[in-house]
Structure 1
Amino acid sequence: MNPSTEKIEKWTSVYNRIIREWINSELRGFPELNDSNYYYILLVFEQPGISQKELTEAIFREQSIVTKAINYLIKHDWLRKESDPSDRRRSLIFVTEKGKKSYPIIKDIATRSNVFATEALTAEEAAEMERLLIKAAKPFLSDIQIKK
């Protein structure tokens, strides 16, 4: 391993933890939400009727993890699931009224998390960081999953 890169995993982990802790502190008004599940509400609100498969691809998570998170959010009245009328084997996910009412606050938290995550960087450095993260992740993801 190159000596200049052997701490990348460590600092990626530290950076990720700091951002996740910040998000959790901002979500404290929503006891059922945390850094692992709040993003589902954003994606479903912005893509009503998204299939569970599409949601899995958009979040870069395993099907079982997404299923568990969706079921949890359904149980706590954030999401609802319907059968696709054109293919009853598919489930379509929608945000509930609770999710719709809370969306502006949750969206603001997501927006501010990006500001928080890059506050020590110039705009150019933040853009370069994003470019490098995409470049590093791209070999491990299908092209369909990489969306800016």
Structure 2
Amino acid sequence: MEGREAGQVTHAVKSAFKAVYASTSRMLEEHGLHFGQHYLLLELWREDGQTVGGLTERLGVEGPTVVRTVRRMQSAGFVRREPDPADRRRVLVFLTERGRELEAVVPAGLESVARQAVAGLTTAEVDALLHTLTRVSSNLTSPPNCSAAPRD
């Protein structure tokens, strides 16, 4: 891959991410959320009352990130923390009523952003995009193989 092509790839990925981030952030801000907090909500909507460690593992982020996010969301009234009755050293995170109410609007807002992002693409193009982005992510999280060239 020539330098110009590599620059085009990284620029296109960056531009797409920035656009999705901005659209998602605007939608979340309408509900008092910051980007990233929706991931924690999605996990708690699936299973309420999780440990911070469990959320860290499921979200694939560092523990301090989850702790800060939970504290911020607790201050905003979306979640509450309680000691785990089975092990008082652990903390369980629960949705508040306000956090539960967001389940009626946030997933639909995320769906709207996704639909806008792929507007005008065919089903086959969306499938190819998802496959390609998954490969790009895998390429960048696996051991480097810089000699690999794009396949035709």
TM range (shorter): 0.7 to 0.9
3-state secondary structure, aligned to 1:128: helix
Aligned residues: 140
3-state secondary structure, aligned to 2:77: coil
**1:73 deviation in Å?**
0.1
Identify the residue that residue 131 of structure 1 maps to in structure 2: 131
Residues 1-148 of structure 1 aligned to structure 2 (within 5 Å): 2-3=2-3, 4-31=5-32, 33-138=33-138, 140=141
**1:105 deviation in Å?**
0.6
Unaligned runs of 5+ in 1: 142-148
Pick closer, same or farther for the CA change 1:63–1:2 going to 2, 3 Å.
farther
**1:76 deviation in Å?**
0.9
Q: With structure 2 as the length reference, what TM-score do the two structures score?
A: 0.78
Unaligned runs of 5+ in 2: 143-152
What is the aligned-residue identity percentage? Answer: 21
After TM superposition, which residue ranges in structure 1, 4 or more long, deviate above 3 angstroms? Answer: none
Q: With structure 1 as the length reference, what TM-score do the two structures score?
A: 0.80
3-state secondary structure, aligned to 1:10: helix
Let me know the Cα RMSD of the aligned residues: 2.1
3-state secondary structure, aligned to 1:5: helix
Q: Which string of whole-angstrom CA distances, capped at 9 and with x for unpartnered residues, describes residues 94-139 of structure 1?
A: 1110011121111111222221222242211212222222223236
Question: For the Cα contact (< 8 Å) 1:80–1:94, is it kept in 2?
Answer: yes
Identify the residue that residue 149 of structure 2 maps to in structure 1: none
Aligned-partner Cα distance in 1 for 2:80–2:92: 8
Moved more, 46-55 or 71-80: 46-55
**1:92 deviation in Å?**
2.0
